[in-house]
Copies of this chain bind each other. A is one copy, B any other.
Amino acid sequence: MTAATTGFGARLSDAVAARESQVVVGIDPDPARLWPAAQEHAEARRHLAESISSAEAAAGAPHDPQRVETAVATLAHCLALIDAAAPACVAAKPQLAFFERLGFPGVLALERVCDHARSAGLLVLADAKRGDIASTATAYADGLFGGLGADAITANPLMGRDSLEPLLARARATQGGVFMLVRTSNPGAADVLDLELATGEALWERLAQLAAELGQGRPLTDVGAVTGATAPEHLARMRELMPRTPFLLPGIGAQGGSVEALAPAFEPGRAAGLVTASRSIANAHEQHGGDPAGAARAEAERLRKAAWNLA
């Protein structure tokens, strides 16, 4: 095995090929839309809730039974969602905010969700968007790659190279990856990421160059890019600036993007364009009917086929 065939990019390519999928299921649990599956395993859930409450009490923390119950129900929901979607996916992308919102019981749930995704054969992409000075970035890297066991994370490059390097060093130690924000899919991306620099480039083009420069490995690099699918006219330019960079493409489904506009992402190979979907999978039953798990599985499979046939 040579250096050219290891690293996150190679792992990702292998995983996409093995699973015949570029789909990343986003795990963004909304307490108001948890699946009824959350009602199963009542005994195990009660035991978990009691144990969390006892940790609260031992810490002298105010008891918040609703928060504990929501975290437990969220965990059950996420495990069921992973079971349903995993066969059509290559990775799971938990959005940390939706767990952190529930405090420490939510973070306990997050840890179990990451373990479960791994057991289901998925890569774990922790959607954290962290970015901070080096000593802090090192602590974040420990928590995300160490504690959570993430295979890759998202990161925010605003604070520059020395805020990214500790994340990347830790990622490389376990053949993990870092997906940098380059051009996101929200309307506010126009406020900062699209600003024109004195050199004539947009800021996002400069960030794309930074991603290409920091990444190592073949056929794909270990620094990926978060590239908003709602601006498909940018994808060809992104590919030009980042020829071997895996793109994480949000904006499918709930955010209004479409799979068909994504072709330039897949130029270096299928694994170079990961297609993320969260609400469109988890809430597929609201759109298409059926039981939540069956509808989620069908929607993930529909996306898998659509993306696979493009590349």
Contacts and interface: CB of A to CB of B under 8 A. Distances in A.
Majority SS at the chain A contact face: helix
Interface in A28-65: 28, 44, 47-48, 50-52, 54-62
A197 interface: yes
Given A139-B100, A196-B198, A161 B134 contact: no
Interface residues of A, number: 81
A202 to B, nearest CB: 10
A105 to B, nearest CB: 8
A58 B108 CA distance: 11
B134 A186 contact: yes
A51 B57 contact: yes
B54 A140 contact: no
Contact of A58 (B50, B159, B210): B50
Nearest to A187: B162
Nearest to A188: B160
A280 to B, nearest CB: 14
A157 B197 contact: no
Q: How many copies of this chain sit in the oligomeric assembly?
A: 2
Contacts of A263: none
Interface string A175-201: 000000100111111111101111010
Interface of A: 28, 44, 47-48, 50-52, 54-62, 67, 75, 95, 97-98, 100-112, 115, 129-137, 139-140, 142-143, 146-148, 156-164, 181, 184-193, 195-198, 200, 203, 206-207, 210, 255
20 contacts: A51-B51, A55-B108, A59-B109, A61-B111, A95-B132, A97-B143, A100-B139, A100-B140, A100-B143, A101-B143, A104-B105, A104-B108, A104-B110, A157-B158, A159-B186, A159-B188, A159-B189, A160-B188, A163-B188, A197-B197
Given A51-B59, A159-B189, A161-B191, 15 more contacts: A54-B55, A59-B75, A95-B139, A97-B137, A100-B107, A101-B142, A102-B147, A104-B104, A156-B158, A159-B184, A160-B186, A160-B193, A192-B206, A197-B198, A198-B198
